[in-house]
Chain A
Amino acid sequence: MKVQTKRTALAAACAASALLASGEALAVNWLKMQGTEPPGAAARARVWGFIQPEYQQTKGTKLRAGGWAGQRAIFNQVRPDLKSDSGFNIIRARLGVRGTGFPLDSKVNYFFLMEAGNNGITRQGGGSVKITDASVTLNHIKGLRIRIGQFKTPGADEGLRAIHVFDYINFTNATNQLLLERFFDGDGSQDAPGQPVNRPNGPVSAFRDVGIQLFDWFTTGSWEHTYAVMVGNGNGITRGDNDDNRELYLYWASELLFPGASPFPSGAHLAPPSWSADHHGPRGARYQGLKLFAWYQDGKRTLTKENPGEYDRTRWGFGFTYRKGKWRGGAEYIRAKGMIFSGTDGGALPGAANNAGTAVADFNVVTDGKADGWYVDVGYLVHPTVELDLRYDVLNRNTQSASLERQFETWTLGMQYFFNKKSRLILNYEFRDAEAPNLPGTHPANRILSGMDDRLSGQLLIIF
């Protein structure tokens, strides 16, 4: 009995020591996971991808006032076609390959990802398949890793996180309107019939840019600190620059790593096998920790048509993410100055003539606008296969002008059902509200916004 006890104790000690000594601590460090491969354990070429079929629906309420009254409201149409108030869509279908071309040398890594879904990346600029990521990372200098190419920029967590571990279907208003950049040739101020409609001139930014990033991470005790400095074109993806200006990105994150495996069934899919397939549970994209972060982005945008010129565009923000046990959550605050995306004239579909036939709706950008927004998000795993989610988000758009200011407020109820570690169903119901806070309730702007419907959406996600 005594021998048995001793043996058990020894085995336990041995197991504990092996567990404690298991490699590097891996947190929700997107820069590490997206930009680097595990030393000595990277594949020459690891093929992976995911598919996201979805269904979205609103009530399809028409515009209640304004020059386009009675016509379709853009905010009640489903993405990305904006032609219907409900429908199925393959919003994302991505195929990628990553690794280290020469496995004996872990210091040079690459990441390549293509998008074949129907969304803001593929719909604009022609072609049905676009490259979203193509980058090379050089890990030769301690404390100074270098990533060059097209990739996600260091910034707000909602944009930086891997989309296939995103807990909702639609982005928050602040992220969608302030950070998911649409690129235009004009500001949309000329609405006369016969004028070209101001539409995006190519893919949305997809939170990416083409440039060079210097970054690394350091561990002190239970904390992991990550920094990044990036210089990019500031002109989105799948194209070169359109001016001589460069975009500057700064990023810092400090994460307190919690020991032990996360009970969340899904995660770590973005990471290469050795980043994630540890012997004591999933790690990586859903690793337990408390992360604090702050970021800053500054550049200029050049318009060549309506109101041509160079305009400043600045974004900054901070926030945190948390995951421990069955709970997860996070919050972010985002502030924006310049190039504020402001929807379409009268809330109509771009290209739609008003009822009087005197104007055509197009997209508008307020070049000297200001905005801010924030969100709080919480999730709880009620069952090993079911997570319930709740998110509240706010966007204050064009706060520099009493007449232009718009406030968007959305409550999102969510549920995720995990079929297995690589497949899940996401259901969301969004209670959406918007108003022009400085205008009377009878003002056409408020009457239009009162017609903003709630939105129901369901999405299936399969990672391979």
Chain B
Amino acid sequence: MLRRRLLALAAAAAAGLAWFQPAPAAEEKPFADVKVVLQISDPQPMKQTLVLNVANNLLRHYGPDKVDIEIVAFGPGLRLLFADNINRGRIKGLADNGVRFAACNNTMRKMTKKLGREPVLVPQATRVSAGVARIIELVQKGYILVKP
């Protein structure tokens, strides 16, 4: 019985670790000249448009292979990554050009509580344990933080 519980615990821990793992390093662009992390945490819909515009403009300015962009969404800004978001087409377009999207799991938990169900995210979103922690981690790696 104890062994089974331990096994289950280990499995859960492994799944949890896998779940909260930051965006895989393989997806990052090691040869990019510029590394940028864009923060979206505001509730205003205009901010969603703005952060996507900034990402798009960076890609146009530097070229997709020369700039590494990750958009980290947390707090009310996580709505950007909802599966039915009006901007989902733009998110897919940016992801196809290498932009990564990180969704804060702390926010997910709180939203799940408020909604009564877990919000469905766009397939391009990768969950991270904490949005702010992810930003700190990226800044420590040399990313420039921009909050449009």
Contact = CB atoms under 8 A, between A and B. Distances in A.
Nearest to A17: B93
A53 B49 CA distance: 33
A14 interface: yes
Contact of B45 (A14, A274, A279): A274
A356 to B, nearest CB: 65
A274 B48 contact: yes
B63 A273 contact: no
B148 interface: no
Contacts of B115: 104-105
B123 interface: no
Given A21-B90, A24-B86, A38-B86, A103 B56 contact: no
Contacts of A273: 44-46, 49
B59 A15 contact: yes
Contact of B79 (A17, A103, A279): A103
Contacts, number: 106
B59 A14 contact: yes
A250 B80 CA distance: 35
A19 B111 CA distance: 31
A10 B63 contact: yes
Residue in A20, A24, A279 with the greatest tally of chain B CB atoms within 10 Å: A279
Interface string B61-94: 1111110000000001001101011111110111
B60 interface: yes
Interface residues of B, number: 37
A304 interface: no
Q: Give the interface size bracket for A toward B.
A: 20 to 34
A17 B53 CA distance: 13
B82 to A, nearest CB: 4
B87 to A, nearest CB: 5
Contacts of B97: 14, 17-18
Nearest to B56: A18
Contacts of A8: 63
Contacts of B92: 21
A104 B111 contact: yes
Contacts of A43: 43-45
A41 B86 contact: yes
A11 B65 CA distance: 9
Contacts of A103: 43, 76, 79
B60 A11 contact: yes
B137 interface: no
A17 B52 CA distance: 13
B64 A14 contact: yes
B100 to A, nearest CB: 15
16 contacts: A7-B63, A7-B66, A14-B59, A14-B97, A17-B96, A18-B56, A18-B94, A20-B93, A22-B89, A23-B88, A39-B85, A41-B48, A103-B43, A105-B115, A106-B82, A273-B45
